[in-house]
A and B are shown apart, each in its own frame.
Chain A
Amino acid sequence: MGTTNIKIKDFLNGDKNMTRLLIVFAAVFALCSLTKGSMFLSTSNFQSMGKQFPEFGLLSIGMALALFTGGIDLSIVYIATLSSVIIARLLPLMVTETATDGTAYMMVIVCFILAIAVGIICGMLNGFIISKVGIPPILATLGTQALFQGFAIVITGGSTISGFPIQLSTMVNKLVFGIPVTVIVFIICAIVVGFILARTTLGRQLRMLGTNPKATEYTGLNNVKLTMTSYMMSGILASIAGIIMIGRFNSAKADYGASYTMQAILIAVMGGIDPNGGKGNIQGVAIAIIIIQMVSSWLNMFENVSNFYRQIIWGGLLIFILIFNYVINVREKKAAMKK
């Protein structure tokens, strides 16, 4: 009886969050269309937005995973850059001038797989330090952030690496029926992670871990393994973001994307992931990503509005949503107590 009750409430809760987000989404969309109609609703604007959001979108989903289990991953951007500089170093070695088009594409894919392996290793290291050594996530990932960035700096010598085989950027910047291929990658990743969290045993266990790690331990779940899996998934998403970044910029450097960390946290929280863990879903995060992208592109359409307004609006939105969620939570608790 008790469990079904909780389940229904969880479902409604997620649903309410979705309703809120969808309303914000609709409001933002309407606002953008009304104020900058012809420009905002153009194909080229949608393509432009589509080229922009996958890289920080994937980082946001990775961040959401970490927050979901009650942690945080401050190293996520640096996992992405480390993956991309490793591709940057390996690819020119693997693709020689005489290589045919086909082998070049093969080698690019091999490099992508290696980059994802880097993401897995970095993520597992995070999970290991957090769960096995027992260092709080915020400190552990702050440490690994410095570590990964350090590696990236050593590998690049601090400078920009460019001059890759053309196949790399061709592959990442492809349009499939007018849709950037990166958007498709993003959608696939979002669906896979969303499915894992919502429909699998692993997802349920992660949710429990996020809600109460002590309880999961006493029920016989392996917290170490769960934490490592979760951070490993974040690492994979980060390295895919890194692949997108190297393709879009056709170059790699240890500090590309350095400002994405805060943005990723903001989006995850805005998308309804509870920073205390255990609550939220990926659908919400995906909508938050698109909202943020719309607001940011829209603000760039005003010639005389400084980008600082974007910061103000984001900051304002975040605080608003945090307070809003908090108030709702308190209310629900009270309502539950009355029963």
Chain B
Amino acid sequence: MKKRLLSMVLVFAMVASLTVGCGSSGKTKSTSAEGEKTEAAAKKDGDAASGENKEGENWKIAVVVKDLSNGWFARMETGITKFAKDTGLNAYMKGPSATDAAQQVQVIQDVISQDIDALCVVPVDPAACEPVLKEARDKGIVVITHEGSTVENCDYDLEAFNNAGYGGFIMDKLAEAMGEEGVYTTMVAHLTNASQNEWADGAVACQKEKYSKLTLLEGLKRVESENNSEKAYEVAKEVLKKYSDVKGFVGTSSMDTPGIARAINELGLKDKVFVVGTGMPNECRQLIKNGSLSYITLWDPAEAGYAMCVMARMVLEGQKIEEGTNLGLDSYKSLVVDPSNPKVLMGAGWISINKDNVDEYDF
């Protein structure tokens, strides 16, 4: 019996030391002493604007994401790691191993009792996070959210872009693919979906302003994919059969774009009909490479992760975040304040992916 107990304790110790080993190897500066922190606080007004990290400003920033098993957030982690490397600050990512609001709240509850200075959250469910985020703020922790524009208990919410701007970006890419002339139409998941319709509206507005030779299909201005790639494929086929002059599609949901591309591919309309829209690199890689999908547009989670950390640091250093604030990234160099909610700031964090750079993205 004794032997068994001993062996059990040993096994436990082994597992534990393994984990500890993994932990300490990658750790940067965890030796932050209380004294240093107060020193940093004392001089934060003075040299806050400088980009270099001064001795003693050893902020600890935790980022809690929706789900660690998701490639999107693995990509986000690269941005956070880069921030930690660039600044020498202790920034790291945590999250539940399944997308569950309850589990995410548990993780947040843990990290806020671990001496962090700032917390960045990509909430699974903004409402469920409110109480624990309030608790964090009551402890004096700076709270930044991303994709959580309804959150009340935060210092700021960072959105990758404003919806109309993103629509305009899709249109720019589509116009480029179509050679700036021809008839196009737009697709959304549902006509009731707020953000996707704003993207589509933004695309149309951009076309009216910039591309006079492009025209929106009069008979069918907007079609629905019901957020289903199969349905998108069928609808695109119908449109192309009925209106042979259609040369372009704006896809908004990440299901639209690959569905439309498949229809183009199957009808042998490659290089005659073009589609640009939101899509995930791993899902669309094949279609991009065979030329049936011109560009996918999206925002890069790595940049969003980096930008959140920059924002957290600026708040910690007492800098004001306002219209035009530069987060030091190309896509977040001039933030726009949401007119309906002054806490929400939007970047221009869109990127486009075509066959030249699709292999740089793995999510």
In the bound complex, residues from chain B placing their C-beta under 8 Å from that of A44 are: 113
Q: Which residues 279-317 of A sit at the B interface, judged by CB distance below 8 A?
A: 296-297, 299-311, 313, 316
Using an 8 Å CB-CB cutoff, how does the interface string of B72-102 with A read, 1 for contact, 0 for none? 0000000000000000001010111110111
User: B5 contacts the other chain (Cβ, under 8 Å)?
Assistant: yes
- The verdict on B8 contacting chain A, using a C-beta distance below 8 Å, is yes
Residue B329 lies at the interface, judged by CB distance under 8 Å to chain A: no
> Does A52 contact B110, Cβ atoms closer than 8 Å?
yes
User: Can you list 27 A-B pairs with a CB-CB distance of less than 8 A?
Assistant: A20-B8, A23-B5, A24-B12, A42-B113, A45-B114, A48-B110, A48-B113, A160-B125, A245-B102, A248-B132, A249-B105, A249-B129, A253-B128, A256-B102, A257-B100, A258-B102, A259-B98, A296-B110, A297-B110, A303-B62, A308-B69, A308-B97, A309-B19, A309-B22, A313-B15, A313-B19, A324-B4
Given A23-B9, A300-B107, do A160 and B127 touch, yes or no (CB 8 Å)?
yes
Binds B, one of A27-35, A134-142, A202-210, A229-237: A27-35
A302 to B11, CA, bound (A): 20
Smallest CB separation, B137 vs chain A (Å)? 15
Tell me which residues across on chain B come within 8 A of A184, comparing CB atoms.
none
Contacts of B105 in A (CB 8 A): 248-249
CB atoms of B130 and A162 under 8 A apart = yes
Contact B90 A303 (CB under 8 A): yes
Inter-chain residue pair count (beta carbon < 8 A): 139
**Chain B residues with CB below 8 A from A169, complex form:** 131
Cα distance A306–B126 in the bound complex, in angstroms: 23
**Complex CA–CA separation, A197 to B15 (angstroms):** 34
Stretch of B23-31, B49-57, B268-276 on the interface side: B23-31
Assembly CA distance A305 to B107 (angstroms): 13
A residues contacting B by CB (< 8 A) are 16, 19-20, 23-24, 27-28, 31, 35, 39, 42, 44-45, 47-48, 51-52, 55, 160, 162, 169, 173, 245, 248-251, 253, 255-260, 296-297, 299-311, 313, 316, 320, 324
- 10 closest A-B pairs by beta carbon, nearest first, are A302-B23, A251-B127, A303-B92, A48-B113, A249-B128, A304-B26, A162-B127, A300-B110, A257-B102, A44-B113
Distance in angstroms between the alpha carbons of A293 and B100 in the assembled complex: 17
Interface centre among A44, A300, A316 (most CB of B within 10 A): A300
Please state if B11 and A255 are interface contacts (CB–CB under 8 Å).
no
Chain B residues with CB below 8 A from A320, complex form: 8, 11
The answer to whether B114 touches A39, judged by C-beta atoms less than 8 angstroms apart, is yes
Chain B contacts of A257 at CB under 8 A? 100, 102-103
The answer to whether A300 touches B9 (Cβ under 8 A) is no
Residues of B within 8 A of A300 (CB): 94, 107, 110-111, 114
What's the nearest-Cβ distance from chain A to residue B134, in Å?
9
Chain B residues with CB under 8 A of A260? 100, 102
Residues of chain A within 8 A (CB-CB) of B98 are 258-259
Q: Would you call B42 an interface residue if the criterion is a C-beta within 8 Å of the partner chain's C-beta atoms?
A: no
**B191 interfacial contact with A, CB 8 Å:** no
Q: Does B115 sit at the interface, judged by CB under 8 A? A: yes
Query: Are B102 and A307 in touch, CB under 8 angstroms?
Result: no
Task: Judge if B16 is at the interface, Cβ distance under 8 Å.
Answer: yes
Q: Contact between A173 and B131 (Cβ–Cβ < 8 Å)? A: yes
Residues on B with C-beta less than 8 A from A296 are 106, 110
Q: Is the CB of B96 within 8 A of A303?
A: no
B110 close to A305 (CB less than 8 A): no
CA distance A259 to B105 in the complex (A): 13
Residues of chain B within 8 A of A52, CB atoms compared: 106, 109-110
Contacts A301-B110, A305-B23, A313-B15 aside, 17 further interface pairs with beta carbons under 8 A come to A20-B8, A24-B12, A27-B12, A42-B113, A48-B113, A52-B106, A162-B127, A249-B105, A256-B100, A258-B100, A259-B102, A297-B110, A302-B19, A303-B23, A303-B90, A306-B68, A324-B8
B20 in the interface (beta carbon within 8 A): yes
B13 at the interface (CB under 8 A from A): yes
Q: Please indicate which of the listed interface residues A169, A256, A296 has the most CB atoms of chain B within 10 Å of its own CB.
A: A256
Taking the complex as formed, is B112 at the interface, i.e. its CB lies under 8 A from any CB of chain A? yes
The one of B4, B27, B68, B109 in contact with A307, judged by C-beta atoms closer than 8 angstroms, is B68
A48 touches B109 (CB 8 A): yes
Tell which of B5, B13, B15, B115 touches A39, judged by Cβ atoms closer than 8 Å: B115
